[in-house]
Every structure is written in structure tokens, then in C-alpha cells.
């Protein structure tokens, strides 16, 4: 792979604009080469051949006579005369002066060095800014570690006094804690957190005992066993607890309720300590990933500047790379070692305080391995996909052989067995696997956006494999129940076959809740966690995975209704004769409303919570949008169960309003398109797909597919050769396809927003809040 492609593939996607623009500099070099070739071709042939012969003879003479070293010396002198590089201005901007602009083609080289300087100053300033940010964050983590260690001491020794004067007069201080207001900027000192009292050397304890005088027998015994009586200390470690409060973020139902009635306080309980330690583990892990990406950013850009200067020397027949690369080596980008030192300090601190000194365990947490693609996934994907296609062909052959389309039992089959619960799930999984494929292709950082742990995200092959497996089960179930006539002896259908749909539902639910580490357990648990957050909205803090999943659920209304039907059919119907009275039940009709409204209601509650927490007026408008959809769904459902002119008018009006509002919100707000002043007309400034017609096609499809759900209120209940239930299923499938298209552009817009803000890391809430006027005494 060429370096340009490798360089792009190794970039942090959200920082792509902050990297050196290797391709644009390469284009300038190609202009230089093109000019030199054109100029060389216009030179007379004789002069060229004579010059080349003379040059070859001179080189042979010098190589033989030992004059090569003197020629190298003259080349260095010539190199010094080609460019001059210096730091100018108050901000320390590096500038290169090309000393031979009067030569033929010199204007191209002037442009090259000007662009090269711009790129280097951009990279250098960005790196310096990010290093400053991580140094400040390291200082804050140091303060958090002070509080954590103090909390550990208090929890282990609950009778210790943290009050003021007695311990302060003891004069025993902790080891080298970073002062909260000190202006240290060296990475080697920032993570030098205080040592725990339990780790004090026995020699230091013995010295303290000699200075302190006679000790009790209890103190002697503790000194011999390597422990310390904390009640005799007045360390600032414990004084910290008087000046902090726990940072209670209402993320769960319990914490949400507590935040309303209680103040933030330290309970000094082991449960609270475990929660704080988990937050600090996450904070250290995320901070370490920042440092790794910064180190990679520094290395890749240094390599890019080295590569581009070597190309310049090759294309221009000069030797200017040494001077320029010496400047790069002396710049902040190359000479700064704060990131390396911070990484060492983070590793040391994390291993000591969170891995019990086990380096392998600590580094496994800090450096999780990326998921590897396995050949067996591809093999089973092909096997199950081929099996699904074979089963589809078998169903078509059986329908033709048995003349099922003209059978009298076709109506009963369509109304009782046909509901495509698994078909909707399989289609949604296929669409989402396609989303993941294109997100990867266009470098959308979906694992970061969804908050997946590194290496735990599921790939498009795995999703296709899962959907193929479910399709195999569903299609096999269809073949087993493909009977249209009653058994003449029993006057009923075979009970075991009729229970197949129920058995498939139970199997899928068992797989979903399976506690064993099989069938992508981490992804299943992540999905179940998001589902629980949605069901308990607005008691949980709303994150992107939660409201993204809620949006997916709004496109699975027909699947939920199918599940409700199965409950009624197998619970109160006579499944042996494929008969039921569900549509006549008031309870069923009520749940028919509720099941359709629940996903939109969840989404509106999430918007209300975000409106209260984030003070964002757009979330209030978004809640109104979902409320209009709730009204439209209720009116359409009412019209479907009980037809009437009034119901039809209300259904049409509410559906039109919800369709117009939803379409506008999809295209303008969620996708960020239809911007008037954009450099890409009626799109947006930044686009990932180079073919702009894709965006216009997606907008048109969004409008058309949204109109498809109005078929029920426009009187389109049946179509030729298509049963009413099948038509409803087809419309539901169109909505799932629309949602799949929406997913790609929604996440693309989110990714570009992160890119615009250089936001490549998730913010991990820290457990402690310090008093504003508190400063630690060193």
C-alpha cells in the first residue's frame, strides 16, 4: 500500500483536517516534475547528450580519484544556500525561505514551501494545543486520585477523624502531591499521585517512631507487620475529604430520584467506593487512549513530512530535506516528551491503584485488543445465506405444487400464521449491517459515536450471520406450517406444527437473554441495556445509543403488533383450528393502540429529559414532532379498527402534518442537508460521499417512503393478488428500509459534527467535585 493511503487509513477520523495534507503537497510536487520534464524535452538533443556524457565522465573521475568527499562537502554548502528555515513571529510560526526563486520553475517550489510551512504550523499548533489539554486533564486526574485515596483510607478505617486541628499539628504530610493551583506543565510530574499510607516503608515508620518517642505495644505490633495506625496521623490525604462532594450524575432511576431529594455527599460506604473506583478506571482508560492517539498523531505527521521532503528532493534534484527535517526535529512536535511521560505515569498509577500491581492485567485494560475478523464467520455466513436462499426457493416450489394461492385455507393462513415478526427483524438487521459496511467505507467512527468498548463492536459480517441464522429458523418454520387444509380425522391442524411460531419466539428470547458467553454476548447485553434505558425513560440519562435505538423501535411498530397478536392467538385463541376472536376483544384493541404509540412516547420522553438537562429548545420541538406522530398513529389505528368519515378525515390531516414535520426534521435537522449557503448547493459544506446525487436520491426516497404509511388512510387496503395482511407487511418493510437509509446519513452528520469540533473522545464524568476556594498545602 502506498504511503498516502496508509497515512489516511491510520488517521484519527475526527482529526483528519488537523493532519498534514499530504495529497495536496504531492500535487504541487507533480507540477514541479511536470514542468521539469517539459523544460527538459525542449532542450536540443545534442546538447543534452553531450551534457549527459560529460556528467558521466566527471562522476567516474571523481569516484576513482577520491574527490567524492569534497563533492559531498560542496553539496552541503549548496544545500544551505537552497532554503533557510526559521521561527518568526510571537506565536513561533516556522517559515521557510527558498533562496533560488529566479530559476526556471522556482515559482512552483516557492508555492510548495509556503504550503509546507502552513501545514507544519497547523500540525505543530494543534499538537501543542492538545498536549496542553491533556496536561490540564492530568492535573485534574491527580486531584481526583488524591480524593480517591483519602476515601479508601476512610472506608478502610471508618473511625478515623478527618476534622481539622489535631491531625494538622502532627506534621506528617503525603508524598509529592501536585498542588491544585500550581502551574506545572511537565508531563513527568503531573501523574505523580500521592502514595497511600499503607505503602509507607517500614524504615520511614521506624524513623517516625524514634522521633516521636515511646510507642504503645499496639503501635509496635503494627510497625512490625508493616501497617500504620491512621488515627495518629493528620495527613492532608484525609483533609481532602472536608473539601469535596460526590459528583452525582442522575443516570439511573434511583440516582434521578435521589438527585431531587438529596444533596451530594460522601457516605464513606464500600458501595460508593466501588462506584468511584469504576469511574476512575474509565477515566484513566479514556485518558490513556487520548495519549495513545496523540502519540500516533505526532509520529504519523513526522513520517509524512519526512516522506514529502524525500519526494521533493527526488522531483527537484535538490538536497533540502536535511535542513527542513532538522527543523522538524527541533520543533515542539518532535522535541516534546510530555505525552510519553504522561503515558508512563498513567501506566504506573493504573497498575498500582487499579490492578494490584499486576502489570499484565493493567495493560490489558489500558490497551484492549482490536476485534479480529475470523474466517469461520465468513464461512458460516455463506453457508447460512445459501441455506436461506434454498429455503425461499423451496417455499415457492411448494406453493406452486400445492396450488396454495387458490386454496380455501389461504385466508386463515394469512390471518393467523403469516405475521412477519421475524421477517421485520431480519430485514432490519440486514439494513443495519449495510449501514456498518458503508460507515466503515467512508470512515465514520461509529464505535466512538455509539460508545462501544474498543474491540467489542460488532461488524457487518457478524450481523449478516445473525440475520441469516434467524432467517433459516423462520423459513424452516414457514415450511413446517405450510398446510392449508384441516386433518379430516381430527378436524384440526397438527398441534406441534402450529406451535412452531411460538417456539421460534421463545428461542429468540432465550438467545437474547442467554447469560453464557456465546452469540455475541457483549453486543446482546449492550442492546438489552439500551432497551432498559428506553423502557424506563425519562429516568435514565439520555445518550446517543438510547435515542438512536428508540428511533429504530419506531420503525418496528408492526413487529410489536405481530408479537401482541401471537400472545392473544396462543393465549386465548384455538391455534389447532387457526381461529381466534382477538379483533373483537376490547383489551386487544386497546393494546393495539398502546403498542403502536409506545416507541414514539419513549422518544418524546427522552426529548423532554434532554430539554430539561441541556436547556436545548430544539429538543422541545423534537418532542412536539413525536407527539404529532403519536396523534397520527392513534388516528390511523382508530380508523383501521372502526371506519368512518370523521375518523378518516382526522387520520388524513394528522398523517399529513406528521409526514411533513417528520420529513423536514429528517432532512434538515438530522441529516443537516438543504442548506442554502452551502458550497455544495442544497446540501452541506462537508460530505463524505463524493457523488452528490446520492444525497438527493436519499431525500426523495425519504419523502416517498414516508408517504407509504398513508396507504391505510387513503383507502388502499388491498391490491390485486395481495392479501391485506401481506400489503401491511410490505408497507412495514418499506418503513424499515427508510430507517436504514436514515441511519447512514444521521450518523454521517453526527460524525461530521464531531470532526468540526475535533471531538474524538467521549467525556467521562469524574466522581468528585472540589470546593472552588480549596487549595492543598504541599
Q: What's the CA gap between 557 and 547, in Å, rounded?
A: 16
Helix (H) or strand (E) holding 460: helix 460-480
At 83, is the secondary structure helix, strand, or coil?
strand
pLDDT score at 72: 33
Helix (H) or strand (E) holding 512: helix 500-512
Q: What letter would DSSP give residue 158?
A: T
Please give the C-alpha separations between residue 220 and each of 171, 453, 551, 768, in angstroms, as whole numbers.
21, 48, 66, 36
Q: What's the CA gap between 98 and 107, in Å, rounded?
A: 10
pLDDT score at 254: 62
Q: What letter would DSSP give residue 709?
A: G
Q: Which residues fall within 8 angstroms of residue 742, CB to CB, at 6 or more apart? A: 551, 666, 670, 671, 702
pLDDT score at 81: 55
pLDDT score at 153: 85
CA 57 to chain centre: 63
Domain boundaries, the chain: 375-756
**Number of alpha carbons in the 13 Å side-chain half-sphere of residue 490:** 9
pLDDT score at 489: 81
b/e 483-506 (16+ beta carbons within 10 angstroms → b): bbeeeeeeeebeeeebebbbebbe
> Can you read off the three cell numbers belonging to residue 185?
506543565
At 87, is the secondary structure helix, strand, or coil?
strand
Residues of the chain with pLDDT under 50: 45-80, 162-234, 777-778
Q: Which residues fall within 8 angstroms of residue 457, CB to CB, at 6 or more apart? A: 371, 446, 447, 450, 523
> Can you read off the three cell numbers belonging to residue 571?
393465549
627 C-beta neighbours (distance < 10 Å), count: 16
Can you give the pTM of this predicted structure? 0.79
Helix (H) or strand (E) holding 189: helix 187-190
Q: What letter would DSSP give residue 245?
A: E
CA 103 to chain centre: 51
**Number of alpha carbons in the 13 Å side-chain half-sphere of residue 639:** 26
Helix (H) or strand (E) holding 84: strand 83-88
pLDDT score at 1: 62
pLDDT score at 628: 93
Among left, alpha and beta (phi > 0; psi -120 to 50; other), residue 672 is: left
Amino acid at each position: 500500500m502506498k504511503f498516502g493511503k496508509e497515512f489516511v487509513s491510520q488517521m484519527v477520523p475526527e482529526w483528519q483536517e488537523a493532519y498534514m495534507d499530504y495529497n495536496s503537497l504531492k500535487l504541487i510536487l507533480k507540477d514541479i516534475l511536470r514542468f521539469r520534464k517539459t523544460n527538459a524535452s525542449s532542450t536540443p538533443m545534442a546538447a543534452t547528450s553531450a551534457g549527459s556524457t560529460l556528467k558521466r565522465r566527471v562522476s567516474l573521475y571523481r569516484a576513482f580519484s577520491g574527490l567524492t568527499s569534497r563533492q559531498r562537502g560542496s553539496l552541503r554548502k549548496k544545500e544551505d544556500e537552497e532554503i533557510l528555515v526559521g521561527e518568526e513571529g510571537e506565536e513561533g510560526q516556522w517559515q521557510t525561505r527558498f533562496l533560488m526563486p529566479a530559476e526556471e520553475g522556482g515559482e512552483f517550489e516557492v508555492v510548495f514551501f509556503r504550503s509546507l510551512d502552513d501545514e507544519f504550523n497547523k500540525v505543530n499548533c494543534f499538537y501543542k494545543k492538545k498536549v496542553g489539554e491533556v496536561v490540564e486533564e492530568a492535573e485534574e486526574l491527580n486531584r481526583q486520585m488524591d480524593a480517591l485515596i483519602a476515601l479508601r483510607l476512610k472506608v478502610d478505617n471508618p473511625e478515623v477523624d478527618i476534622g481539622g486541628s489535631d491531625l494538622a499539628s502532627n506534621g506528617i504530610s503525603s508524598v509529592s502531591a501536585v498542588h491544585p493551583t500550581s502551574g506545572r506543565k511537565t508531563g513527568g510530574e503531573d501523574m505523580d499521585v500521592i502514595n497511600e499510607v499503607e505503602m509507607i516503608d517500614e524504615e520511614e515508620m521506624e524513623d517516625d517512631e524514634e522521633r516521636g518517642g515511646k510507642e504503645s505495644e499496639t503501635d509496635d505490633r503494627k510497625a512490625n507487620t508493616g501497617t500504620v495506625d491512621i488515627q495518629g496521623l493528620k495527613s492532608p490525604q484525609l483533609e481532602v475529604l472536608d473539601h469535596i462532594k460526590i459528583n452525582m450524575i442522575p443516570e439511573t432511576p434511583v440516582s434521578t430520584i435521589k438527585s431531587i431529594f438529596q444533596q451530594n455527599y460522601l457516605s464513606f460506604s464500600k458501595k460508593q467506593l466501588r462506584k468511584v473506583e469504576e469511574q476512575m478506571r474509565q477515566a484513566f482508560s479514556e485518558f490513556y487512549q487520548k495519549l495513545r492517539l496523540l502519540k500516533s498523531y505526532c509520529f504519523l505527521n513526522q513520517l509524512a513530512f519526512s516522506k514529502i521532503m524525500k519526494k521533493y528532493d527526488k522531483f527537484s534534484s535538490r538536497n533540502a530535506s536535511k535542513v527542513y527535517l532538522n527543523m522538524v526535529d527541533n520543533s515542539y512536535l518532535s522535541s516534546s516528551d510530555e505525552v510519553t511521560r504522561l503515558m508512563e505515569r498513567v501506566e504506573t498509577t493504573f497498575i498500582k491503584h487499579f490492578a494490584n500491581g499486576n502489570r499484565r492485567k493493567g495493560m490489558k485494560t489500558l490497551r484492549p485488543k482490536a476485534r479480529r475478523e475470523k474466517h469461520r464467520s465468513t464461512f458460516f455466513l455463506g453457508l447460512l445465506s445459501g441455506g436461506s436462499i434454498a429455503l425461499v426457493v423451496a417455499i415457492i416450489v411448494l406453493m406452486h405444487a400445492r396450488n396454495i394461492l387458490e386454496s380455501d385455507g389461504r385466508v386463515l393462513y394469512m390471518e393467523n400464521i403469516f405475521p412477519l415478526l421475524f421477517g421485520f427483524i431480519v430485514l432490519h438487521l440486514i439494513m443495519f449491517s449495510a449501514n456498518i459496511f458503508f460507515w466503515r467505507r467512508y470512515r465514520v467512527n461509529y464505535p466512538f459515536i455509539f460508545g462501544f468498548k474498543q474491540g467489542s463492536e460488532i461488524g457487518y459480517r457478524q450481523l449478516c450471520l445473525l440475520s441469516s441464522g434467524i432467517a433459516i429458523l423462520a423459513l424452516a418454520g414457514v415450511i413446517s406450517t405450510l398446510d392449508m387444509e384441516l386433518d379430516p380425522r381430527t378436524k384440526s391442524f397438527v398441534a406441534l406444527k402450529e406451535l412452531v411460531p411460538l417456539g421460534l419466539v421463545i428461542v429468540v428470547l432465550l438467545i437474547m437473554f442467554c447469560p453464557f458467553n456465546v452469540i455475541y454476548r457483549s453486543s446482546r447485553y449492550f442492546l438489552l441495556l439500551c432497551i432498559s434505558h428506553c423502557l424506563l425513560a425519562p429516568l435514565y440519562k439520555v445518550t446517543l445509543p438510547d435515542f438512536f435505538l428508540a428511533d429504530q423501535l419506531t420503525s418496528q411498530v408492526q413487529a410489536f403488533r405481530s408479537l401482541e397478536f401471537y400472545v392473544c392467538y396462543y393465549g386465548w385463541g384455538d391455534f389447532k383450528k387457526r381461529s381466534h376472536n382477538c379483533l373483537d376483544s376490547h383489551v386487544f384493541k386497546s393494546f393495539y393502540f398502546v403498542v403502536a404509540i409506545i416507541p414514539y412516547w419513549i422518544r418524546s420522553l427522552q426529548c423532554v429529559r434532554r430539554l430539561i438537562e441541556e436547556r436545548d429548545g430544539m429538543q422541545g420541538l423534537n418532542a412536539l414532532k413525536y407527539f404529532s406522530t403519536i396523534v397520527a398513529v392513534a388516528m390511523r389505528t382508530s380508523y383501521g379498527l372502526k371506519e368512518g368519515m370523521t375518523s378518516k378525515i382526522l387520520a388524513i390531516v394528522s398523517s399529513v402534518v406528521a409526514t411533513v414535520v417528520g420529513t423536514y426534521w429528517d432532512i434538515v435537522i438530522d441529516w443537516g442537508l438543504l442548506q442554502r449557503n452551502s458550497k455544495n448547493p442544497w446540501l452541506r459544506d462537508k460530505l463524505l460521499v463524493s457523488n452528490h446525487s446520492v444525497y438527493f436520491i436519499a431525500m426523495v426516497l425519504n419523502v416517498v417512503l414516508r408517504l407509504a404509511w398513508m396507504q391505510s388512510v387513503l383507502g388502499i387496503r388491498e391490491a390485486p393478488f395481495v392479501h391485506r395482511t401481506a400489503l401491511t407487511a410490505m408497507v412495514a418493510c418499506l418503513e424499515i428500509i427508510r430507517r436504514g437509509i436514515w441511519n447512514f446519513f444521521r450518523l454521517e452528520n453526527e460524525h461530521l459534527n464531531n470532526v468540526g469540533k475535533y471531538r474524538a473522545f467521549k467525556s467521562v464524568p469524574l466522581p468528585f467535585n472540589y470546593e472552588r476556594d480549596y487549595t492543598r498545602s504541599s
